[in-house]
Amino acid sequence: MAGKTSEDGANGLSYAAAGVDIDAGNALVERIKPAAAATHRAGVMAGIGGFGGLFDLAATGYRDPVLVAATDGVGTKLRIGIDTGIVDGLGQDLVAMCVNDLACQGAEPLFFLDYLATGRLDVETAARVVTGIARACEAAGCALLGGETAEMPGMYADGDFDLAGFAVGAVERDAILPRAAEPGDLLIGLASDGVHSNGYSLVRRTVALAGLDWDAPCPFEPGTTLGAALLRPTRLYVTPVLAAAALPGLHAASHITGGGLVENITRVVPAGMGVALDLEAVTLPPVFDWLVRTAGLAEAEALRTYNCGIGMVLVAAPDAADAIAAAVEALGEKPRVIGEVTDRPGVGTTGALA
C-alpha cells in the first residue's frame, strides 16, 4: 500500500476526520431515551438501543388481529424547517403522515420507527426533531420502538437532513376499513391545522413569487412569521377516527394528503361510485386563501393539491352521521358535512371555494 502508515495511525485518519462522529450519535441516543421511554405502551418488550425493536402483539389483547403498515416522509416542508431553524414540529408531521393513514384502515397504531439522515449530525437539532417524534407517538398511543440516525458526509449539504418514518398498527379482522360505502353516504369533514405536509413545492414557489422571506410578517396570520405559520404541524386524527370507527355506520375514512380533496376521497369508495362535494361547505382558511390568490391558482388545481382546510373525511351512513359527528366533536373536532357518495364515478362539485 502506498503512503505512510503505522499501527498507531500516523496518517491521522479517523472516522471522525472523514465526517462521521460516532460520539455525537451516542450522545443523541442518550438525549432521546427519556422521550422514547414516555411512549411505552402494552406490547413493548425493550427500549431503544438494540439491533431491533421487540413488540409482543399478544400483550395488546387483540382477538383476531391484522397488522397494517404505513411509511412516509415530510417532503419539501423540511426545507422551510431547515432554513428557519424551526424543526420542533417536523417530528409530528412525520408521525401524523403515517399514523393517520393507519387509522383510515381502522387500525390502532402500535409502534413507530424513524430514520434521520444528515451530512453532519447536529445533536441539538436532531434531538429536537426526535423529541417531536416521541411526543407525537405518545399522543397517538404508539411506541417509539426504535430508529436510525445516518451520518453521511458528501450526501447532504451542511445543515441539511431528511426524515422518513414507518408505523405498524393492528385492527380486528372484522373491523377493517373501508367497508362498502353506498350512494347517499355523507362525507363528514374534519378541519386541518393548515397545509399539513403536502403541496410544499408549490407553497415554496408561491412564497418566492410573493417576494417574501420566511421571517417576514405573515400576511394571513398577524403576530407570527410566514415561516412559522407554514410550519404548523400536521394534525393527529387517530383518536377521533378510531372513536368513529367503533360506532355502527362508519364506512370509510380518507386522509387528505397528496392529491388533495379530489383524489383521496374516491380512494375509499367502491369502484363505479364517486363523490359530490359541496364547495360552499369547504370554507378556505386564511392560509389557503392567500396561497390560492397569490399563485393565481385555479380552483381545480387547489382541490387536487391542498387539503383546503379539511384534513380527514369520514364516510358515514346517513342514519349514523349525527352520532359519528357528535362523537368526534366531543373529542375537540369541528365536523361538517361537505358532500355525499354518488353512483357516478369521479368527483362532482357544486358551489365554489370561498
Cis geometry, peptide bond prior to residue 318 (ω within 30 degrees of 0): no
User: What is the torsional sign of CA 216, 96, 271, 252?
Assistant: negative
pLDDT in tens, 61-115: 999 999 999 999 999 999 999 999 999 999 999 999 999 999 999 999 999 999 9
Integer Cα distance of 91 and 74 in angstroms? 9
Query: What pLDDT does residue 44 have?
Result: 95
Given a cut of 90, whether residue 21 has pLDDT beyond it is no
Q: What is the mean pLDDT of the chain?
A: 94
DSSP 310: E
Q: Decide which of 26 and 80 is more confident.
A: 80
88 to each of 49, 118, 124, 126, 286, how far by Cα in Å? 23, 16, 11, 9, 23
Q: Which pLDDT does position 20 carry in this prediction? A: 78
**pLDDT number for residue 11:** 64
**pLDDT band for position 33 (cuts 50, 70, 90):** confident
141: left (phi over 0), alpha (psi -120 to 50) or beta: left
| Per-residue confidence band for 8, with pLDDT thresholds at 50, 70 and 90 | low
Q: State the amino acid at position 333 in one-letter form.
A: E
DSSP 3-state of 116: strand
pLDDT digits (tens, 9 = 90+) for 136-169: 999 999 999 999 999 999 999 999 999 999 999 9
